[in-house]
Chain A
Amino acid sequence: MAEKLAYLWPEVTLFLATCAVMVIGLSPSAAVRRLCPLISGLSLAAAGIFAIGTTPTLADGAEGLMPGMLPYAKAIIAAVGILIVMLLAGTVDRGEEEELAAGVRKFDPLRLTSGEFYAFFLFSLTGLMLTASADSLIWLFLALELTSLPTYVMVTISTARSRAKEAGVKYFFLGALGAAIFLYGFALIYGGTGSVHLGEIHHQITLQMAGDGLNGITLAGLLISILGIGFKIAAVPMHYYTADVYQGAATPVTAMLAFVPKTAGFLALILLCSAIGWHYGETGHALPDTIRLLLWVMAVLTMTLGNVLAILQTSMKRMLAYSSIAHSGYMLVGIIAGPGATFTESGISAVLFYLLTYGVMSTGAFAVIASLERTHAERTQTGELAYDEADSIEAIRGLARAKPLLGWSMVICALSMLGFPLTVGFFGKLPLFTSGIAAGELPLVIVLGINSAIAAFYYLRLVSYPLFDEAGDEAGGFITTPMRTRPAVAAIGAVGVLAMTVFAGPLMGLAHDAVQPKLHDSDAPIADEAMPTEEAEPVAAK
Chain B
Amino acid sequence: MTTLAATELADYFPLIVIIMMAVTFSVANVALTLLLGPKRDGKVKSIAYESGMNPIGTARKRFNVRFYLIAMVFLVFDVEVIFLYPWAVTFPNVDRLAPGASEWLIRILFFLFTTVVAYLYGYRKGVFKFD
**Contact at B6–A23, with CB atoms within 8 Å?**
no
User: Which of B1, B4, B6, B103 is in CB contact (< 8 Å) with A1?
Assistant: B103
Q: Report the separation of the CA atoms of residues A202 and B68 in the bound assembly, to the nearest whole angstrom.
A: 45
User: Which of B65, B107, B114, B120 is in CB contact (< 8 Å) with A23?
Assistant: B120
* B40 interface hit (Cβ, 8 Å): no
Q: Given that A109-B126, A110-B126 are known contacts, is A23 also in contact with B1, CB under 8 Å in the complex?
A: no
Q: Report the separation of the CA atoms of residues A542 and B3 in the bound assembly, to the nearest whole angstrom.
A: 8
- Note all chain A residues with C-beta closer than 8 A to B100: 1-2
**Contact at B125–A1, with CB atoms within 8 Å?**
no
* A209 interface hit (Cβ, 8 Å): no
- Note all chain B residues with C-beta closer than 8 A to A473: none
Task: Give the total of B residues in contact with A, Cβ under 8 Å.
Answer: 15
Q: Report the separation of the CA atoms of residues A110 and B122 in the bound assembly, to the nearest whole angstrom.
A: 10
* A26 interface hit (Cβ, 8 Å): yes
User: Which of B1, B6, B125 is in CB contact (< 8 Å) with A110?
Assistant: B125
- Note all chain B residues with C-beta closer than 8 A to A532: 1
**Contact at A22–B126, with CB atoms within 8 Å?**
no
Q: Given that A26-B124, A26-B125, A110-B126 are known contacts, is A2 also in contact with B103, CB under 8 Å in the complex?
A: yes
Interface string of B107-131 (1 = CB under 8 A from A): 1000000100100110011100000
Q: Given that A535-B1, A542-B6 are known contacts, is A23 also in contact with B117, CB under 8 Å in the complex?
A: yes
How many contacts between A and B, using CB within 8 angstroms?
A: 33
**Contact at A19–B107, with CB atoms within 8 Å?**
no
Q: Report the separation of the CA atoms of residues A206 and B121 in the bound assembly, to the nearest whole angstrom.
A: 48
- Note all chain A residues with C-beta closer than 8 A to B4: 536, 541
- Note all chain B residues with C-beta closer than 8 A to A27: 124
Closest-CB distance, B105 to chain A (whole angstroms): 12
**Contact at B1–A26, with CB atoms within 8 Å?**
no
Q: Report the separation of the CA atoms of residues A108 and B66 in the bound assembly, to the nearest whole angstrom.
A: 14
- Note all chain B residues with C-beta closer than 8 A to A108: 126
Closest-CB distance, B80 to chain A (whole angstroms): 15
Q: Report the separation of the CA atoms of residues A27 and B117 in the bound assembly, to the nearest whole angstrom.
A: 15
Task: Give the total of A residues in contact with B, Cβ under 8 Å.
Answer: 17
- Note all chain B residues with C-beta closer than 8 A to A2: 100, 103
Closest-CB distance, B18 to chain A (whole angstroms): 28
Q: Which A residue's beta carbon lies closest to that of B124?
A: A26
A27, A109, A532, A542 interface centre (most CB from chain B within 10 Å): A109
Interface string of A89-116 (1 = CB under 8 A from B): 0000000000000000000111000010
Q: Report the separation of the CA atoms of residues A542 and B7 in the bound assembly, to the nearest whole angstrom.
A: 10
- Note all chain B residues with C-beta closer than 8 A to A109: 124-126
Closest-CB distance, A138 to chain B (whole angstroms): 13
Q: Given that A110-B125, A535-B1, A542-B6 are known contacts, is A22 also in contact with B107, CB under 8 Å in the complex?
A: no
User: Which of A22, A535, A540, A542 is in CB contact (< 8 Å) with B117?
Assistant: A22
Closest-CB distance, B101 to chain A (whole angstroms): 12
- CB contacts under 8 Å to A, within B35-52, are none
Q: Given that A26-B124, A109-B126 are known contacts, is A19 also in contact with B103, CB under 8 Å in the complex?
A: no
Q: Given that A109-B126, A535-B1, A541-B6 are known contacts, is A23 also in contact with B103, CB under 8 Å in the complex?
A: no
**Contact at A1–B107, with CB atoms within 8 Å?**
yes
Q: Report the separation of the CA atoms of residues A115 and B121 in the bound assembly, to the nearest whole angstrom.
A: 10
- Note all chain B residues with C-beta closer than 8 A to A22: 117, 121
Q: Which B residue's beta carbon lies closest to that of A535?
A: B1
**Contact at B121–A23, with CB atoms within 8 Å?**
yes
- Note all chain A residues with C-beta closer than 8 A to B124: 23, 26-27, 109
Q: Report the separation of the CA atoms of residues A27 and B121 in the bound assembly, to the nearest whole angstrom.
A: 11
- Note all chain A residues with C-beta closer than 8 A to B120: 23
Closest-CB distance, B112 to chain A (whole angstroms): 13
- CB contacts under 8 Å to B, within A13-30, are 19, 22-23, 26-27
Closest-CB distance, B35 to chain A (whole angstroms): 43
Interface string of B23-59 (1 = CB under 8 A from A): 0000000000000000000000000000000000000
Closest-CB distance, A105 to chain B (whole angstroms): 15
Q: Report the separation of the CA atoms of residues A108 and B120 in the bound assembly, to the nearest whole angstrom.
A: 16
Q: Report the separation of the CA atoms of residues A540 and B2 in the bound assembly, to the nearest whole angstrom.
A: 12
Q: Report the separation of the CA atoms of residues A540 and B4 in the bound assembly, to the nearest whole angstrom.
A: 10
- Note all chain A residues with C-beta closer than 8 A to B103: 1-2
**Contact at B117–A19, with CB atoms within 8 Å?**
yes
B6, B114, B125, B126 interface centre (most CB from chain A within 10 Å): B125
Q: Report the separation of the CA atoms of residues A26 and B126 in the bound assembly, to the nearest whole angstrom.
A: 10
Q: Report the separation of the CA atoms of residues A535 and B4 in the bound assembly, to the nearest whole angstrom.
A: 11
Interface string of A510-538 (1 = CB under 8 A from B): 00000000000000000000001001100
Q: Which A residue's beta carbon lies closest to that of B126?
A: A109
Q: Report the separation of the CA atoms of residues A540 and B3 in the bound assembly, to the nearest whole angstrom.
A: 9
Closest-CB distance, B109 to chain A (whole angstroms): 13
- Note all chain B residues with C-beta closer than 8 A to A535: 1
Q: Report the separation of the CA atoms of residues A153 and B1 in the bound assembly, to the nearest whole angstrom.
A: 42
Q: Which A residue's beta carbon lies closest to that of B104?
A: A1
Closest-CB distance, B97 to chain A (whole angstroms): 18
- CB contacts under 8 Å to B, within A101-133, are 108-110, 115
Q: Report the separation of the CA atoms of residues A532 and B126 in the bound assembly, to the nearest whole angstrom.
A: 44
**Can you report 20 A-B residue pairs in the complex whose CB atoms are below 8 A from each other?**
A1-B100, A1-B107, A2-B100, A19-B117, A22-B117, A26-B121, A26-B124, A26-B125, A27-B124, A109-B124, A109-B125, A110-B65, A110-B125, A110-B126, A532-B1, A535-B1, A536-B1, A536-B4, A541-B4, A542-B6
Which A positions have Cβ atoms within 8 angstroms of B? 1-2, 19, 22-23, 26-27, 108-110, 115, 532, 535-536, 540-542
Which B positions have Cβ atoms within 8 angstroms of A? 1, 3-4, 6, 65, 100, 103, 107, 114, 117, 120-121, 124-126
Known: A1-B100, A110-B125, A536-B4. 6 other contacts (CB 8 A): A19-B114, A19-B117, A22-B117, A26-B121, A110-B126, A535-B1
The 4 nearest A-B residue pairs measured at CB: A26-B124, A19-B117, A22-B121, A109-B126
